[in-house]
Amino acid sequence: MERQTKILAVAGKGGVGKTSVSAAFVRLLTESYPDARILAIDADPAIGLSTALGVEVKETLDDIRKSIITNVESGEQKAAIELLGEARFRIFDTMVEQQKFSFLAIGRPEAAGCYCKVNAYLKEVINLLSHDFDYVVIDGEAGIEQINRRVMEKVTHLILISDPSVKGTRVIDTIKGVADDLVMYERCGAIINRIEDMSMVPYIHVEGTEVLAYIGNDAKHQANDIQGRTVFDLPEDAPVIVGAKEALEKLDII
């Protein structure tokens, strides 16, 4: 029986630590399954996941998209199936192999504030690559746009990240509500990150979503960032690693 690819999409409002948690997921998967095929997708135009994972990005998904469009516009007409095959080849050629995982960045489109085309392309890429990997971790852009546009339409696990603020938890409540209509996920859970005072946990409310982990402020992770180090340099007892592991265990992923 063919093994189902597990696709983990990480979403939430900006500034809540989505990228840190996504990077921790990638690290934990590489440690738990050293022989697995693991893909990390930086779907946030802020391009922070590459830094967290220690990856140097030379070509992005948007670069590939524009290159293929240029070929078509220059008269190199090809059937849609040929273009898709070319995209698949180019994507695998672009992927950075490091720390036993592959990496792909969405990139930053030239038109400021418009990511519609590359988001639509990303949706096709997720579908295209899902059978080539055992685990895919997607660090989504801040907010609800990629969920609303069905970019994450076929993920197996949706993980919503928030800080303890009411604004943050309301955002993930909204994302969950939209995802229930537009995303065919199997499991969904939340992680509450950057908690200053853990005694306040009982007062943090998330509607209709299981909270997978509560993560306190992480001084070790902050020091790691300042020193320009990656998630792989964090000690095993760093709160973000412990919390991410707890979440993956509750989701039966590790």
Task: Look up the CATH number of the domain holding residue 62.
Answer: 3.40.50.300
140 in a domain, yes or no? yes
Helix (H, G, I), strand (E, B) or coil at 202: helix
The reported pLDDT for the residue numbered 173 is 94
Q: 92: domain range?
A: 6-250
129 in a domain, yes or no? yes
The reported pLDDT for the residue numbered 231 is 95
Dihedral Cα 113, 114, 120, 126, nearest 10 deg: -30
pTM for the whole structure = 0.87
Distance CA(17)–CA(172), nearest Å, equals 13
- Pair type for strands 96-98 and 101-105: antiparallel
245 in a domain, yes or no? yes
Distance CA(174)–CA(110), nearest Å, equals 29
The torsion angles phi and psi of 188, rounded to 5 degrees, stand at: -140, 140
103 in a domain, yes or no? yes
Please state, in angstroms and as integers, the Cα–Cα distance from residue 101 to each residue in 35, 39, 134, 169, 188, following that order. Answer: 10, 6, 11, 31, 24
170 in a domain, yes or no? yes
The reported pLDDT for the residue numbered 2 is 53
207 in a domain, yes or no? yes
Q: Which residues contact 134 (CB under 8 A, 6 or more apart)?
A: 3, 5, 6, 33, 36, 37, 38
List the Cα angle 173/220/51 in 5-degree steps: 70
The reported pLDDT for the residue numbered 106 is 80
137 in a domain, yes or no? yes
The residue whose two tokens read 């792989």 is 232
Q: How many C-beta atoms lie closer than 10 Å to residue 208's C-beta?
A: 10
Q: What is the pLDDT along the chain (254 residues), one digit of tens a residue?
A: 456 899 999 999 888 999 999 999 999 999 999 999 999 999 887 778 999 999 888 888 777 777 766 665 555 555 545 655 666 666 676 666 665 898 888 876 555 545 566 666 677 777 777 788 999 999 988 777 667 566 677 789 999 999 999 999 999 999 999 999 988 899 999 999 999 999 999 999 898 899 999 999 988 888 888 888 999 999 999 999 999 999 999 999 99
Select from 239, 232, 235 the least CA-distant residue to 218: 239
The reported pLDDT for the residue numbered 220 is 80
The reported pLDDT for the residue numbered 100 is 84
Report the number of distinct structural domains present in the chain: 1
Select from 97, 92, 95, 72 the least CA-distant residue to 82: 72
The reported pLDDT for the residue numbered 147 is 74
1 in a domain, yes or no? no
